Chain A
Amino acid sequence: MDPQRLKDNFDHVAGQGDAVALFFYADLFVRNPHLRDMFPIGMTGQRDKLLRALGHIVSRVDDLSALVPFLQQLGRDHRRFGIVAEHYPHVGQSLIATLRHFSGPSWSDDVERDWADAYGLVSKVMLEAAEEDSLHSPAWWNGQVVAVERRRFDICVLRVQPDRPLPYRPGQSVALEVPSRLRQWRYYSMANAPRPDHTVDFHVRLVDGGPVSPVLVRRTETGDRVRMGAPVGTLTLDESSRRDVLLVAGSTGLAPLKAILEQISLRPDPPRVHLFFGARTRDGLYDLEDLSKLADRFGWLTVVPAVSDESGGHGFSALLQAGAAAGGGDVEHGPLPDVVAAHGPWDGHDAYVCGPSAMVGHTAERLRRLGVPDDRIRLETFADAQR
């Protein structure tokens, strides 16, 4: 295999954009009509994913130490879609046909051999990881919704009982599928540390125009079924650290941080923890009541709620708002990164940040400038994952 030749060929093909992935899937389905049902009706997102994954693989094709873990994860991820060994050659055949079609005269037997070798390697690593994973873990977990709490017209907390234990580390998430939106998986973080009864909580916010989140928030009822993939994610507690902890949550980005908070509370000697919980408006602080109770119970925990789009208020409106946020105490005003910065210093803390991408980016940037080293900031955004 000549990695450079492979990269050059891929650059040439990928430069032709969406048409490449469109051709690939059409070719795959014409040759194997039974595979069409494994994909959603709308394929726009799917094509983006394919091109991104291919780009990622090709750019690391000569760096196996980086490529192999990515492929192993990809292989494990594909188990929940029902992808098995016999599907891999079909995909390889259509991939080669697509590359040949878009390469034009630059296609040669050598290039074809490069691709065949590369795909052979990719599918071997993915399959081995999937098989290894299947020894101790199901392809997916079936779950039943056991409680639904609507906290606002567009925010909902779901409790799900998995059909078998779902081992995860607090801060991780699972891909979730609802029966009325088959083959549309969305990632949600478990909002609690593992419990003896194995139930997990999800904080779901309705994203306008999204296919899945409106179903979860508005239409889900107790008894409904969901499917869950294997837990993933690296926004987990650094258990080797003895430093104090800073948690910064924007909206439902609270979920993984609340799980981490619960994990810390189970320690015999918890560090000092500051939790900043931000939203645009006061009624977006959907979990403040519970957080305030935790803050009352644990002397080591400080909860600072903040809203960015409402002014400080004065006179009677402030009185009304205080009444509306039951048990909320007072709320800080301003963008979350500013509020966090004003409560510093943080350079001796481990920071965990989760929320909308702009908020996470700005907070992380601010913390770096305040002297928090990069390797002590763990973050996660839910940009497009939760529509």
Chain B
Amino acid sequence: MNSPNLPVVSEGSRLTPGELQSVVFARAALGRRGYDEEQVRNFLAYVERELVQILNDKAALAAEVDRLRAQAAKGASGVMAPEDAHFQAVRILSQAQQTADLYVADAERYTRELAHEARLQREAILTDAKGRAEHMLEDAHRKAAAVADAAVRDAERSRPGPAARPGALPDDERRAMEREIAYLRTYSDVYRTHLRSYLEALLRNVDEWENSEKASLPSV
């Protein structure tokens, strides 16, 4: 049996697709039945395609190995060093702490602003209330003084001349007291009226407050 005319291949190297292509088979002797030439060619073409595929795969794998080796090498000399890991942790913790400090400072500023506004409102309300009270007292005083004067004038008109009775107060003193009584009655009367209207206004405020709070609640 004739062996195919294989090219001389040096030790250690591999069969290449080109070598396969250059293989020449000897013709079968006349009259003897040999391989079908067409079939042999087809088969060799098939082997060649397979070889190409295998070599391509091999190159891709070698590249992948190189890539992984390079990555592993880079990792070993950088991120994984304990010294650097420590600094990284310190850096991350520092950043976290700064964030926390920022939140704390924001919250403090917010409560400070709220408290400041509340103080201003409190002062405004107090000033307003003091102004009203002062107004009420002055008004009461003015009216009471007028009424007292009128009372004294009336008394003088109805009892002209000195008419001292025994046991009774002297006229001057009695007039002064009448005047004082009239003053106080009117004063307290005017003051009560003012106070009542002020308290009613306050109650209305409380009602409004309650209503607006109810309105702002989600309906159940």
Contact = CB atoms under 8 A, between A and B. Distances in A.
Interface in A188-214: 206, 208-211, 214
Q: Tell me the dominant secondary structure on chain A's binding face.
A: helix
Interface stretch (B1-9, B44-52, B93-101): B93-101
A316 B104 CA distance: 47
Which applies to chain B's interface (DSSP): helix, strand, loop or mixed? helix
A211 B97 contact: no
Nearest to A317: B134
Interface in A248-297: none
Contacts of B115: 206, 208-209
A210 B105 CA distance: 10
Contact of A23 (B90, B104, B119, B122): B90
Q: What range describes how many residues of A lie at the interface?
A: 20 to 34
B136 to A, nearest CB: 9
Nearest to A206: B115
A320 B138 CA distance: 12
Given A22-B94, A22-B97, A41-B104, A315 B116 contact: no
B105 A44 contact: yes
A352 interface: no
Interface stretch (B106-114, B152-160, B178-186, B208-216): B106-114
A113 to B, nearest CB: 22
A317 B94 contact: no
A108 to B, nearest CB: 19
A27 interface: yes
Nearest to A94: B90
A43 B94 CA distance: 11
Nearest to B89: A30
B116 A29 contact: no
B204 interface: no
22 contacts: A23-B94, A26-B94, A26-B97, A29-B93, A30-B86, A30-B93, A41-B104, A42-B101, A42-B105, A43-B101, A44-B104, A208-B115, A208-B119, A209-B109, A210-B108, A211-B108, A214-B111, A316-B133, A316-B134, A316-B138, A319-B137, A320-B130
